[in-house]
Structure 1
Amino acid sequence: MLNLFSFHSRRYWRRRLYPLLSVLLALGLVVGTPQVTQARSWFDLILQGVQIFQLSNVSDRQEVQLGKQINQQLVGQEIQLYRDREINRYINEIGQRLAKNSSRPDIPYTFQVVDGKNINAFATVGGFVYVYTGLIAAADNEAQLASVMAHETAHIAARHALGQMRQMAIARGVASAAGLDRNTAVGLGVELALRRPNSRQDEREADQLGIETLQKAGYAPMAAVEFMKKLMKTGGALPAFLSTHPATPERIEALEQAIPQDRAYAGDGLNNQAYRNKIRAVL
């Protein structure tokens, strides 16, 4: 009887212990490397109520939440939003049309207009895209503007910012045994959004996915190439979204090869005057 009891007792504790060991193992996974030893233990972080992000395994819900926190800091401290209601409505309409036709349509996307003369746009994690008034004014038509917004949407679809945050966390040794705490993750996200270019591979992927999204959304894909060529001819420093590697001529060539010639100008958004009428407030 005693042996039978011991057998059942051991089985009972094994059933209880294995799930606990699994949780401890999951919490012990670093953002992707075992080399970080500086940070606080996962147990200390949990006791202090610190929210932890495992950047190698972030859920959609966690990513959107992180994006909201990054956005709060960006809007509160780094950028000034453009408040014209009609311009914001127009940009959001274009953005949502692209998001629905992206390779990742199942998260919410937020498109915001930044008050600034820079010909620029950027994206953060969780579906947040920022479009400068300078970019809106520089585009000749809606399809050209949509091509840049599609490119930024593609960065989100491919989770490029999360990959860069992970690399930065490893390089700087700011990950704990549990992962990356919320405040550190937000800080890295803000830095990436404003000051760190995407990699050569990320840009190529975003160009390809962006063109696919642009076409699926019903815009004329050749507008992307025409806008890049136009900006190269203006002289001076290239806009931030074009200044990263691969070099712009190489990107243009790759895009031209990706666009079917018989469909290059098939689609919406090529009416220059109609576009000017809609964006008159930023001109």
Structure 2
Amino acid sequence: MYTRAYFRLLILVITPLLVLACARNPVTGKREINLMSTEQEIVIGKESHPSVVATMGLYEDKNLQAFMNQKGKAMASISHRPDLPYQFYIVDSPIVNAFAVPGGYVYFTRGILAHFNNEAEFSGVLGHEIGHITAKHAARSQKSQLLSTIALIGGAVLAPQAVGQNIETLQQGLGLLSLKYSRDHESESDKLGVEYSSKIGYDARQMGDFFGTLKRISDRSGQAIPQFMSTHPDPGNRFTRVHELAKDYQTKNPASYQVNRDQYLRLIDGIMYGEDPKQGFVENNYFYHPELRFQFPVPAGWQSQNSPSQFQMAAKDGKAAMILMLAKGNSLDEAAQNLVKELSLNVLENGKTTINGNPAYVLISRQQQQQGQQQDPKSALQIGTWLIQYNNAIYALHGLATNADFTANFSTFKQVAENFRSLSDPDKLNRKAERIVVKATPRDGSFRDVVTQLGMPANRVEEAGILNGLKADDRITRGTLIKIISR
């Protein structure tokens, strides 16, 4: 009786709150639970922006930024939420990506801008990202994420590769439903990308072609995963669906839709391509940082990702990862104390040492379980940390794996850390960034023959083909503008 009475009381309390939280979605027109107001979305965007900039950095290109602002404002004005304070940024990352934050913040990497081949491709992806904002996808995701595991998210942020197997286990049931929910968001944003880019005059079929480029990037990297386990629909499937959506829209709304290929290529002529050597680069299984003048090995077969704030690398099987970042503190002891406190570590071993003449501090630790949290000891995260004092800074090099896999990977972590050393090779210190150079083809011929004549080595023809949205045997005519990679 008491339980039933309590349940009825709970319903009486919650129901009015849910009714108050319901609002009509500007895109779907449906009433739905909304736990994030417009004001809250704007606050989230403002609070998130400094972190995005600190993590990735901004890419300075006045003409490209002006173009992005112009198209972004034009598209925002015809969107379902024209009154948001939209802001558009180019972030300094070679990764092919674009993303949006609630409140109107839209980010394109220089990597994705280098891979677009016309204004219509750019516009379609811009519409897709604005669609995430106008459809309130962050707020709609928040509703389902209330039931998700905060601890899991925290672990994934710290070492997404190392806890990958745990994620697969915990994402059964509700987790897979959340993945599907995210794919629905992506598909809805694809539709909005077609609508918004078409409304400002672009041929949305080109957006579908860009998903063909993403498919080739995915296939070449060897990182493709089954669609049912991905938060994004398969690029190949999106290619087909977006073409169908664009064809349907243009049939219902006949007009002269623009592509503007040459205009866009001239706009990105000179854009940086790939990693910025000043921020560090990987070559022959070593990570080199010319500005900070250090180097250390990258285990064979490991994948890596660099940013202004940290360098990450991980084994392909997801069982081990390493992260390099600056440590907080004026001494090794202070840095160690800050680290233990901030990450809530349970230190198992610690001691001072020297690494290639540099004072160092080693800690072996585990993340402490949160109160009330139960976890299989074998799947708990274990961390080996080497704090290295070098050139008036203290670097933290973390090796991460589950308890079950830590011992097997410890020798790899140790080998990397103990080979942290100064960099003096002039070739590495003076390395220049690669850039996109737009050239007119000197003659008719296959793409392979033309780019080879323009200086691209044979082992990079496929890379150049992906960059241009062309295949090696595609025929191109004299005078056609194409992108070449050059220093």
Q: Which residue of 2 aligns with 1:279?
A: 268
Query: Against the structure 1 CA distance between its residues 156 and 261, is the aligned structure 2 distance closer, same or farther, given a 3 Å change threshold?
Result: closer
**Secondary structure at the counterpart of residue 148 of structure 2:** helix
Shift of the alpha carbon at 1:173?
6.2
Distance in 2 separating the partners of 1:261 and 1:170: 38
Distance in 2 separating the partners of 1:90 and 1:231: 23
Q: 1:136-147, aligned counterparts within 5 Å?
A: 136-147=113-124
Distance in 1 separating the partners of 2:101 and 2:143: 14
Amino acid in structure 1 at the alignment position of 2:266 = N
Q: Which residue of 2 aligns with 1:82?
A: 59
Shift of the alpha carbon at 1:83?
1.9
Does residue 207 in structure 1 map to residue 190 in structure 2? yes
Query: Against the structure 1 CA distance between its residues 171 and 261, is the aligned structure 2 distance closer, same or farther, given a 3 Å change threshold?
Result: closer
Q: Which residue of 2 aligns with 1:246?
A: 233
Q: Which of 71, 77, 82 is the aligned partner of 1:94? A: 71
Q: Which of 44, 47, 62 is the aligned partner of 1:66? A: 44
Query: Against the structure 1 CA distance between its residues 262 and 146, is the aligned structure 2 distance closer, same or farther, given a 3 Å change threshold?
Result: closer
Kindly indicate which of the two structures has a greater share of residues assigned to strand.
2
**Secondary structure at the counterpart of residue 99 of structure 2:** strand
Residue by residue, what CA displacement relative to the aligned partner does 1:96-132 show, whole Å, maximum 9, x if unpaired?
Answer: 1221122221211111001111111011111111001
Q: Which of 200, 225, 242 is the aligned partner of 1:255? A: 242
Amino acid in structure 2 at the alignment position of 1:249 = G
- Give yes or no for contact 2:124–2:193 (8 Å, CA) kept in 1: yes
Residue by residue, what CA displacement relative to the aligned partner does 1:53-77 show, whole Å, maximum 9, x if unpaired?
Answer: xx9343222211221101122223x
Distance in 2 separating the partners of 1:169 and 1:261: 37
TM-score of the two chains, using structure 1 as the length reference: 0.66
TM-score of the two chains, using structure 2 as the length reference: 0.40
**Secondary structure at the counterpart of residue 243 of structure 2:** helix
Question: Identity of paired residues, percent?
Answer: 30
Shift of the alpha carbon at 1:281?
3.5
Shift of the alpha carbon at 1:88?
1.3
Mind listing any 5+ residue stretches in structure 2 that lack a counterpart?
1-12, 21-32, 162-177, 272-435, 437-487
Distance in 2 separating the partners of 1:80 and 1:98: 25
Q: Which residue of 1 aligns with 2:89?
A: 112
Q: Which residue of 1 aligns with 2:220?
A: 236
Q: 1:184-223, aligned counterparts within 5 Å?
A: 199-223=182-206
Distance in 1 separating the partners of 2:137 and 2:233: 16
Let me know the Cα RMSD of the aligned residues.
3.4
Bigger relative CO (Cα 8 Å, ≥ 6 apart): 1
Distance in 2 separating the partners of 1:233 and 1:73: 31
Does residue 165 in structure 1 map to residue 165 in structure 2? no
Q: Which residue of 1 aligns with 2:7?
A: none
Q: Which residue of 1 aligns with 2:130?
A: 153
**Secondary structure at the counterpart of residue 95 of structure 2:** coil
Mind listing any 5+ residue stretches in structure 1 that lack a counterpart?
1-24, 33-54, 175-186
Does residue 129 in structure 1 map to residue 106 in structure 2? yes
- Give yes or no for contact 1:203–1:246 (8 Å, CA) kept in 2: yes
- Give yes or no for contact 1:112–1:131 (8 Å, CA) kept in 2: yes
**Secondary structure at the counterpart of residue 107 of structure 1:** coil
Residue by residue, what CA displacement relative to the aligned partner does 1:177-211 show, whole Å, maximum 9, x if unpaired?
Answer: xxxxxxxxxx99xx7xx999871111111111111
Distance in 1 separating the partners of 2:35 and 2:248: 40
Amino acid in structure 2 at the alignment position of 1:225 = G
- Aligned residue pairs, count: 216
